[in-house]
Amino acid sequence: MDISIKRRNYPADNQSWLGSATGTTSAQSVALDLSTFTKATHFPDGYLKSGLPLSKRAGGKYGLAETEKLDGFLFTPTDVPADTATPVGAALLVHGIVRTAKLPVAITAEQKAANAHFIYNEEA
């Protein structure tokens, strides 16, 4: 797993999906399963944008939440290495207020209902 410390500016990342600072000081460290993401959709610029919905997968790694299960949101932009078989460390926001219209991908009503740790603001 790549947990090396790097410094990088992410000019395109936009955390306007955060409805408040609630939960931002208690993000959890997780390992991402990059095979659940698509380059053209989720990391065309070489990194995952913050706000992607994540769920815990078999084996303990986290990947893109595509079903009703939603464990949290990617809190900060995360580099994707050339070898996507290598898991990378990331920060998972586990509770807070989320502006759904500002997320980088849409989430379903089932996903919202499955996680009571978030308040969802539907307004832009």
Q: Predicted confidence band at 1 (pLDDT cuts at 50, 70, 90)?
A: low
Q: How confident is the model at residue 43 (pLDDT cuts 50, 70, 90)?
A: very high
Sketch the domain layout of the chain as residue ranges.
Answer: 28-119
Q: Indicate if the pLDDT at residue 87 is higher than 70.
A: yes
pLDDT above 80 (res 3): no
For residues 45 and 8, is the Cβ–Cβ distance under 8 A? no
In percent, the amount of the chain with pLDDT more than 70 equals 90
Using alpha carbons, select from 124, 104, 3, 96 the residue that is nearest to residue 52.
104
Query: pLDDT confidence of 115, banded at 50, 70, 90?
Result: confident
Fold topology of 28-119: Virus Head Decoration Protein; Chain: A, (2.40.300)
Helix or strand run (H / E) with residue 64 = strand 62-64
Q: Is the pLDDT of residue 13 over 90?
A: no
What pLDDT sits at residue 66? Answer: 81
| pLDDT for residue 60 is more than 70 | yes
Helix (H) or strand (E) holding 55: strand 53-56
> Which DSSP state fits 85?
T
pLDDT, mean of residues 62-82:
91
